[in-house]
Structure 1
């Protein structure tokens, strides 16, 4: 069998995720580009995975009966004979995400799943779980690649850099491409595939220096600057008719982020660092993003899975037109499988990609993806303002991994205290002390 005839085996680690059905449909839709022989789910929550897995079994039988499908809670069964691991886990599930958001808000600090103390708490929980999955992959399928998009990506990527530096794991995030699809719409193009960009920063903490039409080479920055200065990334109309309220506010708030730093186009997550008091003032400490997800996405996904199982068919399912997020993951797998050297984003050790940032900092930059992994694109110097922001944030991320390695209370306290979202060390300590007991099942004992 030639390389072009090969069919691949994929395991989704986090089979009970609400994003999993979308990944399944993307894989099926891209069978011509990335053909599969086997698809497996792995999750340590048997009940949750069964709800998703039974519905996906029907989807697979109807759409792709030639692909062997299964789901399991046994690591050996899951990770044996696989070519790609798609990592989509949430350690502690939505219960812990809720605490990540609500504990900081008790003290007037922003509560968000990947930023501030909540993001660092989540990152510390994720490290051992991701390392465990890497070890299973290397034990049972040593030639496989892991494409990890389990948060908190920056902290997980730093842990991989230190603890598994030679592992075939690539840490990615789809937020830049989601915003690039909005940029394409603003400029009259289709989606992120139509853009060629220069972007740099940290995960959920970056800036676009350049955006061009990939086909013509036209500079799109002037048009984007005009739109974002007035509207942020909000488009409105039919494009945004199903956008949730909290995301609508996020896209609009990018206008204020751009006003502070008009030399580049901001990632939307920068609002939490530029305007932390605004975020707290506009947050409901009793009803956060986790509550919205439970009421909206989680309910819709599990209700739809139950409907499919009861009906015995997946025809007309709700994910038919909503799989762009997961298409990005398939694009990356295709690039690695077929050595296409396409340009996507990865969170990797800097090593000169951003010229004036430490070489061992984990940064998010465009990279060429191929069979040998990723090769970062040189992005030039970070601006003075951006460099200062990045140095503070990446130090917080390094301190969290220090806390994990050393079981150090002080390192975790320092990470909280240094973070731009936290007003002082006394508040940082109160948040940390409240987080330690609820994270006891997941964190190392901090001394």
Structure 2
């Protein structure tokens, strides 16, 4: 191949970037990147400089011909790119802290990707991503956009609905589950097949085949199960888990064990501060490590972040799209009839064959009847919130808030929505027109 690839990472100052760079180095033969552009905003320049210099040291250590560029000029980074990856947080950790703490005052789950907190993140994020997509339509119309920015499913659906950009949403949960199963059964990932049903952060794993053996019944008898670093480790009720018929995403604890999770959040807020404050402490330590001019590899401490392995998923997807490997990955894509009770354009999280022309979702073999209602309810909220994010329509925002299963009633939803919109005013111009 004469010309190497150009990759732009929007949110390049993220603490996750070294993991991404590690993957680019490791798989350079299959993904021959020539230019890596790390982009951030003015407020993120300090972090971009630290992470970018570590990226340059990592590349130098590898001896590979990758040029690393650090910039705040997003359009220059996007121009003629082959892949664009987004890992941004509009409003940074301060906004996440408000997403997590304000709902708790109303006795509602405070979490950054689901419930009212996730809704605010969507309202802040979707317009910015659509703006990036407009740049892509102009400057890199053939590029692939790999979106990791949460709430990943809603962002992906907005991009598919309102732009012509080729985009796929990713989450680290599927690859994390495969790694956990691989360790649990001492089996290489290639010998493991899992089937995901549902939405981003609202999925059930309805098949787990290890070396051709069905391991789902055994796993459903293990209430400890698989969880993530960013969700508390409350165990599942064994009878409930066995009867569910699918391994639930750990985010489903917010729906199935709401009272316990709320109590745990309120206790954690008093003890440690909100999750954003905990993440900030981990990030501060990481950036201290990254600043060491002798460091030229990804430090192990990065795996303490809730998104560990996310960039492995990103590199795998880029590699498969570039080479047309036709392997199976769990991705956020348009429904197109795969889940027959959801709209055609709805973003769902399912297994796909990754071709050079993009992911093709696979038909599902098992969809437990009792999970359909929750999937439908959350998708209804998501579609209302996406439209609210684009239009700034407060009526749509209120309907989205009321129809989220974690919001108990209208009399809670109205003041909660008003307070959260006001707290996010700086990032929600669509809801606060000048004049």
Same fold (TM over 0.5): yes
User: Partner residue of 2:212?
Assistant: 217
Write the mapping of 1:225-244 to structure 2, written as runs, cut at 5 A. 225-226=220-221, 228-229=222-223, 231-233=224-226
Unaligned stretches of 5+ residues in structure 2: none
User: Partner residue of 2:184?
Assistant: 186
Alignment pair present for 1:334 and 2:316: no
Deviation at 1:384, TM superposition (A): 2.4
Q: Is the 8 A contact 1:355 1:381 kept in 2?
A: no
Alignment pair present for 1:253 and 2:253: no
TM-score, normalised with respect to structure 2: 0.91
User: Partner residue of 2:269?
Assistant: 285
Decide whether aligned partners of structure 1 residues 103 and 184 sit closer, same or farther in structure 2, where only a CA change above 3 A counts. same
Deviates most, 118-127 or 255-264: 255-264
Counterpart secondary structure, 1:173: coil
Deviation at 1:101, TM superposition (A): 0.2
Write the mapping of 1:194-209 to structure 2, written as runs, cut at 5 A. 194-209=191-206
Deviation at 1:184, TM superposition (A): 2.5
Deviation at 1:319, TM superposition (A): 6.7
Write the distance in 1 (CA, Å) between the matches of 2:263 and 2:239. Answer: 17
Q: Is the 8 A contact 1:353 1:380 kept in 2?
A: no
- Please, which of 171, 175, 178 is the counterpart of residue 177 of structure 1? 175
Q: Is the 8 A contact 2:147 2:156 kept in 1?
A: no
Q: Is the 8 A contact 1:105 1:285 kept in 2?
A: no
- Please, which of 239, 260, 266 is the counterpart of residue 248 of structure 2? 266
Decide whether aligned partners of structure 1 residues 368 and 446 sit closer, same or farther in structure 2, where only a CA change above 3 A counts. farther
Write the distance in 2 (CA, Å) between the matches of 1:89 and 1:320. Answer: 17
Q: Is the 8 A contact 2:196 2:351 kept in 1?
A: yes
User: Partner residue of 1:89?
Assistant: 88
Over aligned residues, Cα RMSD in angstroms? 2.3
Write the mapping of 1:137-152 to structure 2, written as runs, cut at 5 A. 137-152=136-151
Unaligned stretches of 5+ residues in structure 1: 235-242
Deviation at 1:232, TM superposition (A): 2.1
Deviation at 1:430, TM superposition (A): 1.5
Deviation at 1:64, TM superposition (A): 3.7
Write the mapping of 1:414-425 to structure 2, written as runs, cut at 5 A. 414-425=399-410
Decide whether aligned partners of structure 1 residues 442 and 35 sit closer, same or farther in structure 2, where only a CA change above 3 A counts. same
Write the distance in 2 (CA, Å) between the matches of 1:259 and 1:197. Answer: 17
Q: Is the 8 A contact 1:354 1:380 kept in 2?
A: no
Write the distance in 2 (CA, Å) between the matches of 1:341 and 1:436. Answer: 43
Counterpart secondary structure, 2:213: coil
Decide whether aligned partners of structure 1 residues 406 and 201 sit closer, same or farther in structure 2, where only a CA change above 3 A counts. same
Deviation at 1:256, TM superposition (A): 5.9
Number of residue pairs matched by the alignment: 423
Deviation at 1:148, TM superposition (A): 0.7
- Please, which of 277, 281, 284 is the counterpart of residue 299 of structure 1? 284
Decide whether aligned partners of structure 1 residues 256 and 126 sit closer, same or farther in structure 2, where only a CA change above 3 A counts. farther
